[in-house]
Structure 1
Amino acid sequence: MTPLEMVAVLLAGTAAGTINSVVGSGTLITFPTLLAMGMPPVLANVSNNVGLVPGAVAGAFGYRRELTGQRPRLIRLGIASILGSFVGAAALLLLPEAVFDAVVPVLIALGCVLVVLQPRISKAVAARAEALGKVRPEHGALWVWVLVLLCGVYGGYFGAAQGVLLIAVLGVGLNQSLQRNNAAKNVLASLNNGVAALVFIAVTDVDWLVAGLIAVGSTIGGLLGAHVGRRLHPVVLRGVIVTVGVVAITMFALG
């Protein structure tokens, strides 16, 4: 790897860490960068995943104020994310890429729609629960756990726009602010990426130079993204999420 390529990977990692902390989909920056350098797709995906783990942890740390009181919820949903990550990582190593490539744009588009409609859907869910004399589960209904599990499967396999999907699920299923949901998303993504990284390290090759450069960059970006993202108005944050989602769909369509 040339010095210029090393700088490019470091900068891509920084940008990815920033975007992952605010929204998710940072993989859409680092993964194409590695492919452009001639890395095989699976090796690029694996090395990228390992490198982004420290950035995800940094992003979660940056949102620690919004995590106050969410520990029981994150333990419950974290189990789903971890289980899903194991399945997704195994799928990456065993299944052809075409299997997931076909559904990725659909999932991202669905996530964007849910993010836009989240306030209205969330109010409707709360109104229905009240009409039935029920209280919305504090940590989300069973379907929230199941959908977080599925997001974990997708995240363990590839991870691009995992944050968009998680924000959509948490926004509809949990009765709390978008910023608190984003903080929870960062923790779940950290668990997901971390478990997938352990699987990859144990059973397949990792380009440690690439992973190390992305790790340094994504850590810087994760802290920076948390500083910026937690100050965004909910409407602006939704706009950023949808914009990233649309860009992700476009990249997959062109690819």
Structure 2
Amino acid sequence: MEFPEMLLLVGAGLTAGTVNAVAGGGSLVTFPALIAVGLPPVPATVSNSIAVFPGYLASVVGSRADLPERRRLLRLLPGTALGTAAGCALLLSTPARAFELIVPFLVLGATAVLAFQDQLRRLVGHPRELDPRRRSRSVQLMVVLGAVYGGYFGAALGVMLLAGLALFLDETLVRVSAIKNVLSAVVGVTTTATFAAFGPVDWAAVALVAPATIGGGYGGAWLVRRMRPTVLKAVIVLFGTAIGLLLLYRALS
């Protein structure tokens, strides 16, 4: 690997870590970078999933002050791990073309849910007005669906988790973002274990990208805590829309 290619991967890792902590979608920075240095799509996807994992952990550390009580988080972790494992199995065993066509619409749909959150809450009810069991089941379903997506591809996972969680959790967006960071870290643990054992990982590329995502992830979490909720929501919606349109363009080109 040439020195300019190494610089490209390190820069992509820093950017991706920051983006993942703020809104999610950092994989759309590192994935094209891995393709640019010569990795085929599946090895690039697998290596990318492992490389961005340390950034998720850094985001958790950076947002730990905004996390809810431990018991509430623990209820979400089994579904996250199982959904991620299912997504990993899907990636390693099935053709990617059909899912590539679906992914842009999933991302755009998730972004629209977040953008029109207040209007949707009027239809489904505000979280505090919902039956606790219905609210709990809805949150679990959103988490599992997001985890399956995260295990398969992962780009814009944070946008999808934020959209689903914010619809059914009666929390501030900063608090939801902190929960999203924990769930993303669980997705990262599961994908790392699965792909390290069964996937075609390029460990040289991972060694360059992974450390860079740590600094970016911690810095991004610091930035989230200092942004006004309306600004944070606007950033996430704009970024999610851009990601969805980019994925759609790539899928159709």
Pairs aligned (count): 250
CA distance in 2, matches of 1:122, 1:128: 8
3-state SS of the aligned residue for 2:25?
A: coil
For the structure 1 residues 153 and 53, does the alpha-carbon distance in structure 2 shift closer, same or farther, using more than 3 Å as the test? same
Q: Distance in 1 between matches of 2:77 and 2:3?
A: 39
d(CA) in 2 for partners of 1:206, 1:111: 29
1:178 maps to which of 165, 173, 177: 173
CA distance in 2, matches of 1:212, 1:123: 47
- Give the Cα–Cα distance (whole angstroms) in 2 for the partners of residues 182 and 48 of structure 1: 22
- Seen in structure 2, the aligned counterparts of structure 1 residues 140 and 61 have a Cα distance that, compared at 3 Å, is farther
Shift of residue 142 of structure 1?
A: 0.6
Where do 4+ consecutive residues of structure 1 move more than 2 Å?
119-130, 134-137
- State the 1:212 CA deviation: 1.4
Taking the aligned partners of 1:181 and 1:94, their CA distance within structure 2 comes to: 33
Q: Is the 8 A contact 1:22 1:229 kept in 2?
A: yes
* 1:213 corresponds to: 208
Aligned residue for 1:187? 182
Indicate if the aligned counterparts of 2:139 and 2:165 stay in contact, CA closer than 8 A. Answer: yes
Q: Does 1:41 align with 2:41?
A: yes
CA distance in 2 between counterparts of 1:75 and 1:146 reads 15
Q: Which residue of 2 aligns with 1:112?
A: 111
Instruction: After TM superposition, give the deviation of residue 68 of structure 1 in Å.
Output: 4.0
SS of the counterpart of 1:33? helix
Structure-2 residue corresponding to 1:157: 152
Say if 1:122 and 1:171, in contact at 8 Å, map to a contact too: no
Change (3 A) 1:243 1:209: same
Q: Is the 8 A contact 1:122 1:175 kept in 2?
A: no
CA positional deviation for 1:127: 5.2
Following superposition, the deviation at residue 32 of structure 1 comes to: 0.7
Residue 16 (structure 1) aligned with residue 11 (structure 2): no
Task: Please report how far the alpha carbon of residue 250 of structure 1 lies from its aligned counterpart in structure 2 after TM superposition.
Answer: 2.0
Offset at 1:100?
1.1
Do 2:126 and 2:168's aligned partners in 1 also have CA atoms closer than 8 Å? no
1:141 alignment partner, SS class: helix
Contact persistence 2:127–2:167 (CA under 8 A): no
Q: 1:72 to 1:38 in 2, by over 3 A?
A: same
d(CA) in 1 for partners of 2:171 and 2:128?
Answer: 16
* CA distance in structure 2 between the partners assigned to 1:23 and 1:233 by the alignment: 14
User: Hey, what's the Cα distance between the residues in 2 that align with 1:228 and 1:97?
Assistant: 35
Q: Is 1:77 the counterpart of 2:76 in the alignment?
A: yes
- TM-score w.r.t. the length of structure 2 is 0.94
Distance in 1 (alpha carbons) for counterparts of 2:62 and 2:150 = 21
Residues 74-103 of structure 1: CA deviation (Å, up to 9, x unaligned): 111111111110000011101111121121
Compared CA separation, residues 128 and 221, structure 1 to 2 (3 A): closer
Unpaired stretches in structure 1, ≥5 consecutive residues = none
Query: What's the % identity of the aligned pairs?
Result: 38
CA offset at residue 136 of structure 1?
3.9
1:244/1:209 CA distance change after superposition, 3 Å: same
Q: Does structure 1 conserve the Cα–Cα contact (< 8 Å) formed by 2:60 and 2:181?
A: yes
Output the aligned Cα RMSD: 1.7
**What is the letter of the counterpart of residue 246 of structure 1?**
T
Give the 3-state SS of the residue equivalent to 1:189 in structure 2. Answer: helix
Using the size of structure 1 for normalisation, the TM-score is 0.93
Query: What's the counterpart of residue 144 of structure 1?
Result: 139
Per the TM alignment, residue 7 of structure 1 is displaced from its structure 2 partner at its CA by: 0.9
Unmatched runs of 5 consecutive residues or more in structure 2: none
Q: Which residue pairs with 1:203 in the alignment? A: 198
